Structure 1
Amino acid sequence: MSWSFDGATCGQMRDIDGVDIYIDGELLEGDGKYPCSANGFDGIVLHDFAPGTYSFTAEAVDYDGVAVYSYRGTFSVDGNVAVPINFNTGRTGATSYAYVNWLFPTEAGTSYPSCGQAGVAYVDARVDDGPWGRFNCNQGSQGRYVETPEIAPGQHYLEVVAIDSFERPLYYYGGGFTSQAGIPASITANTWIIGGAAVGWQLYEGATRLSCGQAGVSEVGINFQDVHTNEWVYGEEGQWFSCNESPAVFEFLRPGEYFVSLQANGTGGRRYISPRGADMLRLRVYAHDFPPAQGAAIAPLDRVQ
């Protein structure tokens, strides 16, 4: 007997641990419980069957022994026979999905901590700015995986946020992956420690303070540049906020020291930027520290044209 999952292999079905086989009137070795894959073969070879027709049930089970997919069929023995089993997963083949698990930071040479050791109670995850889904941490840890909603084949972006029992974010992962039609991707989100920052802004023309409306500004762009590597956290574009949204609160920054750059475009060709060079706003982000909006650093945005 060999099995597959609408074209996917055991290696791709990361939530499946084994396949249980029940043949009417037959007692199988090990009560018919077999690993999903053994020695690179997704199946099992059964011996010593008398000629005849047999009815059987196959159940693909998860790591808790719970049946996830089932198959009912018959086979006839007259010498050696092959019995292919295809578990219907309900996938159409035109879409894709991904299995996701998570790891938390560890010291070099030591094993990854469990959810309890890392202080993580829940994990929030989403794909491509979609809705966040919340999971108990253990659902995707220590050999277990969670499954994304169906997604179109192609390039996608996964975000994972690990949260403690007080709803405080502790760790974050963001990374791209590629999905193929009908074949699940497998992603390990190796999270990193995060901290936060709060940044506000004030528009100026000379020494005169301007409101967003007076400056003709609808959006303000913000970016963080690592002081030591010169890398920009949010690429070349930065993150953009409604001008009236000041201050902006960031929660998923790596601990470290950053220069902060702000920019805005106003009506009539007006442009505003924050100070550069020695006067550039500089912030330090600390692990697991999330400054509130009330304590935001305020950067001036001066009209330059």
Structure 2
Amino acid sequence: MRIRGLTLGLALLSGLAACDSHPGGAMTVGWTFAGGSCSGAAVEQVRIAIAGEPLQQDTFDCRSGLATFTDFYPGTYNVTVQGLDYTQAVTWTGTQSVHLDRDVSVTIDLQPVSQQNAVYYFSWTLDPATGDPDQIPRCGPGQRLDKVAIFIDLQDFGSYDCELGLNGNVVITPYVTPGQHQVDLLAYNSQENATSFAETGPLTINFVTGQAGTQNVPLHWNVGSVQVGWAPYANQSDYNGDIRQSCASAGIADLVLGFHSTVGDQNFALGSACNASVILDNVYSGGLTPYIDACGPGGTPGLCGFQGGALPIYREDPSLVNPTTITVQPGVFFQAANPTPFQVFIPLFPIP
């Protein structure tokens, strides 16, 4: 199992220099974390200190499990072991007094330094999807889905690169208090940063100190494809005869496409093109009635009909043409060989 940020390698043995030969011996130090393992505690490295003794090496890969120090005089030594996470923060610590008169071994059971001391490991897969290969959002660097956000108890705890949880890789949650928590993972595009393309839905996870669980979870599609076309018409007669206007002749400078869904409103800037169409891969699923506001010049482009944008001068008119509805299927993306299920056309008329 690969863990994000883990330092790989073998622990080295560190020695203590002695001035004279003497009876005594070596000290071997081991460690556990509330009885658990390094991965269960999300510890990458351990740092060892022996009071009054300079060590040639004091930091070791946690997974080595043991560190041996040689050439001690007989006596009693205070040994402290700290557990470090992938940021090198001290998250666990333990101290034990060790009496040595010959070779001795000691295992120190570390305890967390904070009440937020439990973690969990996740990997993920995307549910199967249909559509043309270049229309299906993919997970990975430079792909449509480049990030997976994590919410714990409805709070945003940041995100991971999408590929870090694929193909047997795992990511680690932030530290939380032990007990049950609700976790939700959402795949999204960091540039758009608005649409949850796919998500786990709420997962009830039991977080245990020092005993991190691991789970592979499916990300279920929230979105599918729509191909929306539009054109302005001077009146219903022109619409019946398919006599279309240009943006210039209609005075249109900015268009915004919108959808009302049970998840929330979505809006897409269409620029200033008329008699055009667009294929979207991020429309929330369900039965939808798309609409378009077309604005004249002035205002901020992309904000037609919103604060900072110009006022709409064209839009669909239900009294002239019944609005077209479309059913968006989750995980069903555009297919050039069968475009009809994805297509909707919106005629635009002057606003009286």
TM-score by length of 2: 0.44
Q: Which has the larger radius of gyration?
A: 2
TM-score by length of 1: 0.50
